[in-house]
Chains A and B, each alone.
Chain A
């Protein structure tokens, strides 16, 4: 009768053992496998993304305090999209049905235009391109300012990472980040602090089962930078298999969110989101990491996931 899922129209990409499923709503990454091993927590066909699983965050990731910010002295009030905390969360495209603008067997481009609306007086054309790699996936986010005035922009994505079938609690997380953002009871940032001697020091591997994070990290040291891209977080399974998040060097932030109540097929499961971001929470107010696009100007940046099997 219909092939429209709660995540929109379904797109399947395949390339020599690598497979990804994409949905048009929020340009969501529904699954990613390398030789059958899950790199991300898959979204079932009949479900909408739980806890923002896999969605694109644009034109800002994470929270804007009280949905308010100031543009050239004028207060701006965004819609409140996290009513329980009173803020504006994860941008304006969380439920947008993207257009498919280009598709091949192993790559797809999706686009969505953000129109002027409450608290956001800009027209910004945005796009996302998913391209399979021999060992994973490259995701490129782009934006072009179609407004007559300069426009702020930030972006991110919300994948929950897996390392094949390894229990999430037994994975070890490493994030080479020197700072974290302390937050208040509404999860709005109160300051950027040194991770040294805090529970937020994950520069050396930490077992996911012992973490309780809903935390943005800064001072990210991109490791092994090649062509402007370096590794910013990785999860290692007991057998040595590893899922790695890499980012372009202009993506300077990572949010890590751990939960024990992700809906699973047989009840709640452990899950860990490792979210690439170009800016920290509340960047529309702090200005930190914010990209200002002049009229007609465009921007592109990438992140991706890579899988390496264990020695055994």
Chain B
């Protein structure tokens, strides 16, 4: 548990999960009860790749690599290798915690990576810093993401509007693997693509990766939820987090019963980046990398 002024966060070691985040008692994320298994990836860290690798297969220096199939219904490898891993506590202060996990060479992944996640509470939210060092004797690919579901306090999700600064969207096939990339306002590409001016979440179904966000040159706000009274929960990110997956399940489990939820998942690359190479970070032996994203709450100023 972390506290800073009116901000408070609960973090769990399993998948370095963000279990809750509040500012002055206002929930910025969907909280996870202490007695339940994290539903629908809520709050977990996705490393060394977010989202899917098609068939769990990719190619390294001309050789096919077969990852474990961790999404059996769609026959893909999903959300990296640390989903079921309890992280180690590396450092803790009153308002911050750093958790670490080793990724050992394994099926389809011949690399040794030392990874960490630092949660730092801010007076109005949270900064999340992902870091990695390549301990392999060869260069290693790296991608990372996180799976927060956002809220603006107790306002029902149906009453919120969502804004995504994305200029492009990738369409998904029936196994949720990526297809063509389109401008969000391209005609005939289907779905709710252009969210740059904000759209009500009521009736909106999102399950797509979005790119070309507002943070291309510098850390910037990339997506936000706005309540009817004008208060907002904002996702910001460093330029390294060039993509988000927006996802709106209608059966998100809550103590009050299942309902609509909205995940906006910051990611360094789009789905299947191990195959497309898009956004993929290559780390030389001993090379380190880190980048941050975060959440900020702003109450209405009127």
Contacts and interface: CB of A to CB of B under 8 A. Distances in A.
A137 to B, nearest CB: 23
Interface stretch (A80-88, A126-134, A279-287): A80-88
A84 B135 contact: no
Nearest to A68: B72
Contact of A79 (B70, B88, B101): B70
A80 B68 contact: yes
Contact of B135 (A2, A48, A81): A2
B106 interface: yes
B86 A115 contact: yes
Given A94-B106, A115-B14, A80 B72 contact: yes
A113 interface: yes
Interface string B37-75: 100000000000000000010000000001111101100
Interface string B94-113: 00000001111111001010
Interface stretch (A3-11, A170-178, A296-304): A3-11
B161 to A, nearest CB: 34
A77 B73 CA distance: 9
Interface residues of A, number: 32
A83 B68 contact: yes
B104 A8 contact: yes
B69 A113 contact: no
Interface residues on B, range: 20 to 34
Interface string A55-74: 00000000000010000000
A77 B102 contact: no
Contacts of B37: 115-116, 121
Contact of B69 (A8, A83, A95, A96): A83
A258 to B, nearest CB: 22
A81 B70 CA distance: 8
B286 interface: yes
B83 A83 contact: no
A249 to B, nearest CB: 33
Contacts of A118: 70, 72
B290 interface: no
Interface string A1-31: 1101111100000000000000001100000
A115 B85 CA distance: 8
Given A80-B68, A83-B69, A94-B106, A4 B85 contact: no
A46 interface: yes
Contacts of B102: 4, 8, 25, 97
A105 interface: no
Contacts of B137: 46
Contact of A4 (B14, B68, B70, B114): B114
B300 interface: no
Contact of B72 (A2, A67, A115): A67
Given A6-B112, A113-B86, A25 B104 contact: yes
B86 A48 contact: no
A117 B72 contact: no
A48 B37 CA distance: 31
Contacts of A94: 106
A84 B70 contact: no
Interface string A84-102: 1000000010111101000
B7 interface: no
A117 B135 contact: no
Contacts of B105: 6, 48
Nearest to A47: B105
B144 interface: no
B72 A7 contact: no
Nearest to A77: B72
Given A25-B104, A46-B137, A118-B72, A96 B66 contact: no
Contacts of B214: none
- Chain A CB count within 10 A is highest, among B14, B69, B107, for B69
B225 interface: no
Interface string B120-136: 00000000000001010
Contact of A115 (B70, B84, B133): B84
Nearest to B136: A6
A92 B37 CA distance: 17
Interface in B229-286: 286
Contacts of A2: 114, 133, 135
B66 A84 contact: yes
10 tightest A-B CB contacts, nearest first: A80-B69, A48-B105, A95-B106, A25-B104, A97-B102, A117-B84, A79-B70, A81-B68, A116-B37, A6-B105
Interface of B: 14, 37, 56, 66-70, 72-73, 81, 83-86, 88, 101-107, 110, 112, 114, 133, 135, 137, 286
